[in-house]
Amino acid sequence: MCALAFSPCVDFVQSVEQGLQYDTNISENLLPRLSECCSEILSKAHVKFRFYRDLQGLNTIEGEISCKVSFVCQRCGKPFEKTLSAKFCSTPDKEKACSLRIEDKLDIVELNPNGQFELLNYLEDCLMLEIPYVPKHDDDDPKCNDNTNWSFGEIAQDKENPFARLAELKEKFNKEK
Ligand SMILES: [Zn+2]
């Protein structure tokens, strides 16, 4: 188990009062849901965040998170890498936001039944929201070929001889060099 620099579950107001802030990494074993949604997590997630009270008195968490992962391209069936990155800014102060009539402009987070903020889950959610609906190479990526006659039903089947495929990749790699 890798240690996490911050507590996975915190008291939001207390965190604000302590001016909690971190610039740290989260190892992949602490991101089980993200892990399930991609082929592989290729780097630790890097996260930077701070708790503060904004000018209107709202308790706030703000920061950014990024993580390099791989998916299987839904167009050509080959793996590809993608860096998921998100900026976030949220508050649990729904009532106050409503009284200021700015609740639509804010991202309101829920606290758990014990009134605690599930910080680690929240950060993982921020990454999960960046997962593309249909993971695939960029449209103009030359690595994404064989895309003329694909369909969703066929992508999982690898009809080609894997060794022929390997030879082809090697050849391509040599050409690129
Ligand atoms: Zn592709």
CA of 95 to the centre of ligand 1 (A): 46
Beta-carbon neighbours within 5 Å of ion ligand 1 = 73, 75-76, 137, 144
What are the sequence ranges of the domains in the chain? 12-141+156-176
pLDDT in tens, 34-75: 999 999 999 999 999 999 999 999 999 999 999 999 999 999
What are the E-state strand segments in 73-162?
79-91, 107-108
pLDDT in tens, 117-127: 999 999 999 99
CA of 32 to the centre of ligand 1 (A): 25
CA of 58 to the centre of ligand 1 (A): 44
Average pLDDT, the chain: 88
35: CB partners within 8 A, 6+ apart: 28, 41
What's the predicted TM-score (pTM) here? 0.79
